Amino acid sequence: MQLTGDRFTAETASFGNDLSTLPNFPAEIRAPAGTLPGVSSFQLHFADHDILTPGDAPDVLVAMNPAALKANLPDVPKGAILIVDTAEFTPRALKKVGYATSPLDDGSLNSYQVHALDLTGMTMTALEPFGLSRKEASRSKNMFALGLLSWMYGRSIDGTVRFLQSKFATKADIRDANITAVKAGWNYGETTEDFAVSYEVKPAPMPSGRYRNITGNLALSYGLVAAAKQSGMPLFLGSYPITPASDILHEISKHKRFGVRTFQAEDEIAGVGAALGASFGGSLGVTTTSGPGVALKSETVGLAVSLELPLIIVDVQRGGPSTGLPTKTEQADLLQAMYGRNGEAPVPIIAPASPADCFDAALEAARIAVTYRTPVFLLSDGYLANGSEPWAIPDVESLPTIEPDFATEKNHGSGDDAEFWPYIRDPQTLARAWAVPGTAGLEHRIGGLEKADGSGNISYDPTNHDYMVRTRQAKVDGIEVPDLEVDDPSGDARLLVLGWGSTYGPIGAAVRRARSAGHAVAQAHLRYLNPLPANTGDVLRRYERVLLPEMNLGQLAMLLRARYLVDVIGHNQVRGLPFKAEELAEVIMKEDDQL
């Protein structure tokens, strides 16, 4: 189903629709087929106008078995189209998910437009010339369904045919079977009288440019490669595979021609240690992980704070605690990123707002890390990582330059007494001097023990430690970030809806609904979580009430209350799924009505 969704999404993007997707699949490598926990789904929302979410209530549900129907039917509105594979509605399959009778026969689906089709049987009939077994032939029913849905919505299948030709180039029987199945599905829609209506969704108006469909993990990968090129530094990724971040390692490993080196470590600690070592050697060090991996990497992140070296820690957040919900989304690592280290160890934090924004967020994380000589957390999440949207491919010439400004000369003393001191700082950024090992005359020693200001020698002096702690904090506090922008069209809003990370889409869609219902509501979104934009306090105090939806139990709300003494109202859920726009709109309108 993930492949089917990916292909329909690709054709929709090529057609020019705006779109948003929500892949949803089990954590098990081979989840139990036909059970509710084993259901794999792919939700796609596309339109002829700008959209922000994968949608709340699908207009069409394709259910390949009773488990898929039961798991997803609660999200489908009355009157929607149900396409159901009757071949799978056997007594054994129905009993497995708790159906006493078949919903196809007992009238429980009378309020829907039900198309009960033998998708498996029609697929096998179409593939008879290939001499495949029943099991092998039935695997292509997803392509039959893709062809049918493509016909319903005027999507071309040419791109899918080319994809299958390429993917299975060395397996002619599988290639031809799948191509035949997708064509058979299209032809069934074209010739049957079961579907009296097809739909046309025109392209969405977008600024001119070259677009492609992109997921958050892919955009983030491209952003890291671009950051390395813009800084003139080789990119080193030290990583241990972990859901949902593994695709970044897979993708970046393909780009060795750009001076990229990837290292699949034996564990999380080795991955971050290698990345920090690469930064010491003059590379752009990156490590990717999710929440459990951040816990293991915390000591080395603290070492990076002490060494004052650039390091990008990509945390693709997932449901926790512990192993938690590996394939589901959550925003619950914020406090871990902010404080999850021993001692005073401040680290900047950036959170992208959409899949495409992951590209720009990666560039910005690299800029801050290199310019200020600091580790940086980039907080993506499972929703952004696997979700997709159209992305305007940027002009490479327009990308910002990142200047590492490596030390090339001794910086303390003069003449024969001149030395290189690694902790002499830039007065503007407070970044320390960074000399690549092997630079003649700039030999120096750094480590995890406290340093003396300037010289970098080991120091246990209480006054020096106090100074160094405050200086490292001041460096992070002084990072230049843009002001927080507020969308308040009328200027009369008394309620501000604030968000961060992947809640941008659901909040934006909910605010639109509230405004359409006559509510004057303002919206703002935080991309920089440490340091916060300088005007954050002023923005919060400007409104009578601040509503903050988060996919956690109120982590950012707690931080904002503590810092600005503003009564931020949290709206929280930890269901492993993004917010629904309709649900948020009701909360927003209720809060506004109470003012």
CA atoms within 13 A on the CB side of 586: 4
In CATH terms, is domain 486-593 a member of 3.40.50.10800?
no
Q: Which of 30-44, 68-82, 317-331 has the lowest mean pLDDT?
A: 30-44
pLDDT for the residue 33: 85
Q: What is the pLDDT of residue 136?
A: 85
Looking at the chain, which residues constitute the CATH 3.40.50.970 domain(s)?
212-398
Q: Is the pLDDT confidence value at 80 over 90?
A: yes
How far is residue 472 CA from its own chain's centroid? 30
Q: ∠161-164-165 over CA atoms, to 5°?
A: 85
Average pLDDT of span 257-278: 97
- Report the pLDDT averaged over residues 51-80: 96
32 pLDDT more than 90: no
Q: What is residue 197's predicted lDDT score, i.e. its pLDDT?
A: 83
pLDDT at 589: 98
Residue 55 confidence class, pLDDT cut points 50, 70, 90? very high
Instruction: Tell me what the mean pLDDT of segment 400-417 comes to.
Output: 95
Segment (H or E) for 117: strand 113-117
List, by residue range, all CATH 3.40.50.920 domains of the chain: 486-593
- Close Cβ partners of 556 (under 8 Å, ≥ 6 residues apart): 334, 500, 526, 529, 548, 550
Give the pLDDT score at 571: 98
Q: What is the pLDDT of residue 275?
A: 98
Which tokens sit at 476? 């992070």
At how many degrees (to 10) do helices 2-15 and 141-152 cross? 30
Instruction: Mention the CATH class of domain 212-398.
Output: alpha beta
- Strand ranges, E, within 421-579: 486-487, 495-500, 521-526, 528-530, 545-550, 568-572
70 near 99, Cβ under 8 Å?
Answer: yes
pLDDT tens-digit map of 207-248? 999 999 999 999 999 999 999 999 999 999 999 999 999 999
Q: If you average pLDDT over residues 335-357, what whole number do you get?
A: 98
- Alpha-helical segments (H) within 353-449: 357-372, 382-386
User: What is the overall mean pLDDT for the chain?
Assistant: 96
Task: Please name the CATH architecture into which domain 2-191 falls.
Answer: 3-Layer(aba) Sandwich (3.40)
What pLDDT, on the 0 to 100 scale, is given for residue 133?
85
Band of residue 132 on the pLDDT scale cut at 50, 70, 90: confident
Q: Quote the CA–CA distance of 547 and 568 in Å, as a whole number.
A: 6
Question: In the predicted model, is pLDDT for residue 338 greater than 90?
Answer: yes
pLDDT average, residue stretch 193-199: 86
